Amino acid sequence: MGSQKLWESRRLSPFRVSSLTAEVSFRRLRQALLPAALSLAVLSGCGGKESSRTLGIDGYVYVPQQVGLSGVSLENFQIVDGYIYYRSGDYDSGTDLRRFPAEELLSQETPVLPSGESLFGADNPTEHIQDFTVSPDGCLYYLEYRSSPGEASALRPLEPDGTEADGGDAGRGYVLAKQGPDGVEAFCVSLAGHATAVAWGGQDTAYVLSDGFLYCIDGKGRLLDRISLEDGWGTLLEGESGRVYYDPLDSGNAVFEITSDGTLNRLPGPYALGGSFAGSREGLLYSSNDGRLYRYAADSADWEALLRWGDSNLAVRSIWETLLVSEDKMVVCFPVPEQTNVLKKECYILTRTPAGELPEKQVLVMAGCNIYERMEQYVMAFNRSSETYHITIEYCDMDSLDAALVSSDPPDLINLTDMDYTKYGEKDALEDLEPWLTESSLLDREDFPEAILEACTVKGRLVCIPDEMYCTTVVGRTSQVGAGAGWTAADVMALAEDNPQAELFLHNNFTLMVRELFRDYILGEYVDWENGECSFDGEEFLSFIRWVAEHSDAEDSGEVPMEAGIGTMPKERLLSIWSHVLSLDHLLYERAYFGEEVIAVGYPTADGSVSHHGTAINHLGIVAASKQKEGAWQFIESFLSREDGAYTFLPARMDRLEEMADALLPEEGTESVEMKIHIRIPDGADESYTGMEREELDAVFAVIEAADYTPVREKEEQVIDIILEEMSPCLTGAKTYQEAAAIVQNRVRVLLGENR
């Protein structure tokens, strides 16, 4: 595949955060669903069938040996009759199908991927091969896109009533071709629509997926069956004995076996929180989100755990390919992001080895519910370099984590991303990291923004330290909201009244008004957290909530208020209430998007103080009951002090932030015209800058330093949930505002009185 860009640039237009929407926007929903979903898992996490302190499964570890790719592009590989087949090339130069003997790769002391031989002769060039498969007798079936007409016959599928359906112009567009073991083409038929996948189905048949239909085609290119799919955007996977599975994009953690009578039988994955499937004629494979690789045995309808990726020091995510060469060897390929945020493919030979033959190390366990890829990659790098320690990652739900912390063998490290770690800090379940930080020769307290360390301090103890962070805030035009950050709910209302023809924000509905825009104001104005009191039944709250309802478009549209970043911000819209500060030049993009000067004004509060929301990522803590605290701190210290660190978000180290800021400043005393920042908004701005002014950087640092990085408290969420549950029916007249407010008052008062 070659190098593939993870992002086009570190500095993209505001819509660059759209790919993070699921990760960022529904964090609270994910936290709520996590325990229920994981209770269904085969392996519950934080201690499954095999001990976290013991490497391997059934006493064996798959030891990795990296394969040099030597610039060879490698995709869609499979093994048939001792040969490894793969697709090479790209869209620009064209694609090719090649093969080489598996033994040629496996027998090398320092393995390098052989380029092998092409399956096509010089007189049979190909354009773009979409997918391919090889039957056990060596027949090649491949999908190819051809931009010009050829001499191939058209596929005219016979419908059940005997009529014929037009298959399109012969040889133009997508075609399915079959080539015999002797290299002679057996047939080539054109396909209507956009064909995406082909699979061998046994008994001289092939299945093709195209535009919502599944075609079963015999060895002579004749249509045997056509199956309509509800969602045809997916892929086909091969299993044992000619079995074929349909894997839709939104699979719900399941694939569907295609039976001989054309029905689809649902096959769920073995891990309730999900994973990804891959085809294998030795048995369908499944890489789960608990870090294990499973194989499906169709005869017994059972999933078998083959390995834990972490035992092999590999961080394998959802994009992966695996060849089961034998019971003792497999080949795995997967992309890894480099510092430049470019995906580079890596390939390894894995050899099944008795765990007792490996060098002995002290095994530490890191537990977490949501562990980012950067963290996984560093854990694997640490394991490879350390002669003393091995970190095993255990993916947990909250219930199993709580149980593990009070067990006789608790985890040593906790990745607290997306967790309310204050509950652990209040129970003294986490080690105080302040003494460790003070004694460190690699880290200083001054390396981190004080606001972040304050948020990580519970009962005077520094319970964790993060590696990355980002901020979320409200951005508006200075011509409308002024040049200073911080405002009240009354200021927001006045802005709306001054602009009666405009909407406040994108998807301006009641739920987002309460949960996002006015959240801080509600929790600060109507709840006395210190004394456990609330005032939701007074006229002030009733007046406020009526105003919110009157200025809402609907109860809930189900959409998130993420601006698309296309063109410019409509004049009819006043605020961007979900602006994610992921880079230091973020406000430049907002200025380009709004088309005028902007300010991060923050979320409205009861007293008008500045409020930006901060989110810490990859914050690590040490379990107070751990017997491996020295090793746990060595890992934390190594991770946070790494010099070659690449970041998905913003670094949570002040010195790294300042280095990034210095790199964005214009170079003084030189004639350099190098453009350091490029802003490209589709249908909008296209601007380049040699750097940022110090005032522009200060505006972003002001957001970072003023943001509150304290995790969302469960009771705060419950208060907002109660308000939405009880007040939403008022929009349709199902309840009066007075009735709903009285219920809110009683429910919140009871909630505040719990555990006081």
Print the SS3 string covering 310-342: HHHCCCCCCCCEEEECCCCEEEEEEEEECCCCE
Domain shared by 444 and 529, yes or no = no
CA angle 212, 217, 218 (to 5 degrees): 170
Q: Residue 443: what pLDDT?
A: 97
Pair 480, 435 in one domain: no
Q: Could you tell me the pLDDT band of residue 682, with boundaries at 50, 70 and 90? A: confident
- 362 — pLDDT class (breaks 50, 70, 90): very high
- Span 266-289, mean pLDDT? 90
Q: What is the band of 694 on the pLDDT scale with cuts at 50, 70, 90?
A: very high
Give 112's DSSP letter: B
Residue with more model confidence, 556 or 673:
556
Q: What is the pLDDT of residue 725?
A: 97
Token duo for residue 693: 């002014």
Question: What is the arithmetic mean of pLDDT over 426-443?
Answer: 97
Domain-embedded: residue 27: no
- Residue 17, in any domain of the structure: no
Tokens (6 digits) for 175: 């075609």
Question: Is the C-alpha dihedral spanning 33, 36, 41, 46 positive or negative?
Answer: positive
Residue 94 pLDDT:
74
pLDDT surpasses 50 at 234: yes
Distance CA 73, CA 77 (A): 11
In this prediction, residues 508-524 reach a mean pLDDT of 97
Number of Cβ atoms within 10 Å of the Cβ of 149:
12
pLDDT at 489 over 60: yes
722 pLDDT more than 90? yes
The structure tokens listed for 697 are 């950087």
Q: What are phi and psi of 531, to 5 degrees?
A: -100, 0
Confidence of residue 492 (pLDDT cuts 50, 70, 90): very high
Ramachandran region of residue 683, left (φ > 0), alpha (ψ -120 to 50) or beta? left
Most confident of 263-277, 325-339, 729-743: 729-743
> Which one has a higher pLDDT value, 248 or 123?
248
pLDDT of residue 654: 93
Determine, yes or no, domain membership for 21. no
**What tokens does 578 get?**
């979900």
| Three-state secondary structure of 466-533 | CCEEEEEEEEEEHHHHCCCCCCEHHHHHHHHHHCCCCECCCCCCHHHHHHHHCHHHHHHHCEECCCCE
C-beta separation of 395 from 291 below 8 A? yes
Kindly state the average pLDDT of the residues 251-272: 89
CB 392 within 8 A of CB 365: yes
Specify whether the CB–CB gap between 521 and 489 falls below 8 A: yes
Q: Taking a C-beta distance cutoff of 8 angstroms, is the pair 456, 708 a contact?
A: no
Q: Are residues 102 and 199 in the same domain?
A: yes
Domain C-terminal end among 357, 385, 420: 357
Question: At 167, is the pLDDT very low, low, confident or very high (cuts 50, 70, 90)?
Answer: very low
Is 48 a residue whose pLDDT tops 80? Answer: no
Q: Report pTM.
A: 0.84
| Domain-embedded: residue 50 | no
Q: What whole-number distance in Å separates Cα of residue 16 and Cα of residue 37?
A: 30
Q: Is the dihedral of CA 435, 438, 440, 442 positive or negative?
A: positive
Is residue 157 over pLDDT 80?
Answer: no
User: Would you say residue 28 lies in a domain?
Assistant: no
Q: Are residues 567 and 526 part of one domain?
A: yes
Tell me the three-class secondary structure of 48-62, residue by residue: CCCCCCCCCECCEEE
Which residue among 325, 357, 389 closes a domain? 357
Token readout for 525 is 């104005």
Give 321's strand partners: 333
Residue type, 736: T
In this structure, the answer to whether residues 423 and 442 fall within a common structural domain is yes
Of 217-221, 542-546, 610-614, 722-726, the least confident: 217-221
Residue 163: per-residue pLDDT: 36
Mean pLDDT of 733-748: 97
Residue 1 reports pLDDT greater than 80: no
**Which of the pair, 94 or 616, is modelled with greater confidence?**
616
213 vs 558: which has the higher pLDDT:
213
Q: Measure the CA–CA gap between 233 and 256, rounded to whole angstroms.
A: 13
- Measured between alpha carbons, how far is 475 from 595 in angstroms, rounded to an integer? 13
Crossing angle between the packed helical segments 694-706 and 654-664, to the nearest 10 degrees = 160
Give the ranges where 56-200 is alpha helix by DSSP (H): 102-106
Same domain for 351 and 221: yes
Is 207 found in the same domain as 221? Answer: yes
Residue 96 placed within a domain: yes
Burial (CB < 10 A; 0-12, 13-18, 19+), residue 613, is buried
Q: Give pLDDT, residue 748.
A: 98
Tell me the three-class secondary structure of 180-213, residue by residue: CCCCCEEEEEEECCCEEEEEEEECCEEEEEECCE
Q: How far is CA 466 from the centre of its chain?
A: 19
| Rg of the chain taking only CA atoms, in angstroms | 29
In this prediction, residue 6 carries a pLDDT of 26
Q: What is the pLDDT of residue 756?
A: 67
Which CATH number do you get for residue 563?
Answer: 3.40.190
- Which tens digits make up the pLDDT trace of 437-451? 999 999 999 999 999
Q: Please report, as a single letter, which amino acid is at residue 250.
A: D
Residue 516 lies in a domain: yes
Please name the helix (run of DSSP H) or strand (run of DSSP E) that holds residue 689, with its range, or none: strand 686-689
Between 652 and 33, the more confident residue is: 652
Domain for residue 653, yes or no?
A: no
Instruction: Provide the pLDDT for residue 140.
Output: 96
Q: In terms of domains, do 324 and 406 share one?
A: no
The string of pLDDT tens digits covering residues 101-143 is 999 999 999 999 998 999 987 655 567 899 999 999 999 999 9
Report the pLDDT averaged over residues 663-679.
Answer: 74
Q: What confidence score (pLDDT) does residue 125 get?
A: 56
Residue 203 clears pLDDT 90, i.e. is over it: no
Q: What is the CATH number of the domain that holds 423?
A: 3.40.190.10
Q: Are 162 and 219 in contact (CB under 8 A)?
A: no
Q: How confident is the model over 626-634, as a mean pLDDT?
A: 97
Residues 6+ apart with CB under 8 A from 418: 27, 30, 31, 369, 370
Q: What is the pLDDT of residue 391?
A: 97
Non-local CB neighbours of 167 within 8 Å, separated by 6+ positions: 154, 155, 156, 157, 189, 190, 191, 192
Instruction: Tell me the C-alpha distance between 332 and 348, whole Å.
Output: 5
**Lookup: tokens for 206:** 């092939």
pLDDT digits (tens, 9 = 90+) for 542-597: 999 999 999 998 878 778 888 877 788 999 999 999 999 999 999 999 999 999 99
Mean pLDDT of 301-309: 95
Distance (Å, rounded) from C-alpha 347 to C-alpha 191? 34
Provide the 3-class DSSP secondary structure of residue 620: strand
Select from 339, 357, 375 the last residue of a domain: 357
Whether residue 192 sits in one domain with residue 208: yes
Mean pLDDT of 453-477: 97
Instruction: Band the pLDDT of 35: cuts 50, 70, 90.
Output: very low
Q: Is the pLDDT of residue 755 over 90?
A: no
CA dihedral for 325, 329, 330, 335, sign (positive or negative) = negative
Q: For residue 394, how far is the Cα from the chain centroid?
A: 18
pLDDT at 272 over 90: no
Number of structural domains, the chain? 3
d(CA 516, CA 719): 13
Please enumerate, as own/partner, the contacts of 120-123 that have beta carbons within 8 Å and a separation of 24 or more. Answer: 120/96, 120/183, 121/183
Q: What are phi and psi of 740, to 5 degrees?
A: -65, -40
Same domain, 328 and 373: no
Q: What is the pLDDT of residue 5?
A: 26
| Percent of the chain's residues with pLDDT above 70 | 87
- Lowest mean pLDDT across 159-168, 225-234, 375-384: 159-168
- For the stretch 403-418, pLDDT in tens is 999 899 999 999 999 9
Judge if 625 and 716 occupy the same domain.
no
Write out the E strands in 355-491.
362-368, 389-395, 413-415, 457-458, 461-462, 468-477
- Report strand pairing: 413-415 vs 362-368: parallel
Residue 296 carries which side chain, given as an amino acid letter?
Y
In the prediction, which pLDDT does 236 show? 95
**pLDDT more than 90, % of the chain:** 66
Helices (H), 508-642: 510-512, 519-525, 539-550, 586-594, 629-641
Quick: pLDDT tens for 310-350: 999 999 876 789 999 998 999 999 888 775 556 788 999 99
The rounded mean pLDDT for the chain is 86
Is the same domain home to 348 and 372?
Answer: no
- 372 lies in which domain range? 362-464+620-644
Does the pLDDT value for residue 47 go beyond 70? no
The answer to whether residues 191 and 198 touch, using CB atoms and an 8 Å cutoff, is no
Q: How many CA atoms lie within 13 A of 533 on its CB side?
A: 5
CATH code of the domain containing 332: 2.120.10.30
For 515, list phi and psi in degrees, rounded to 5. Answer: -80, -30
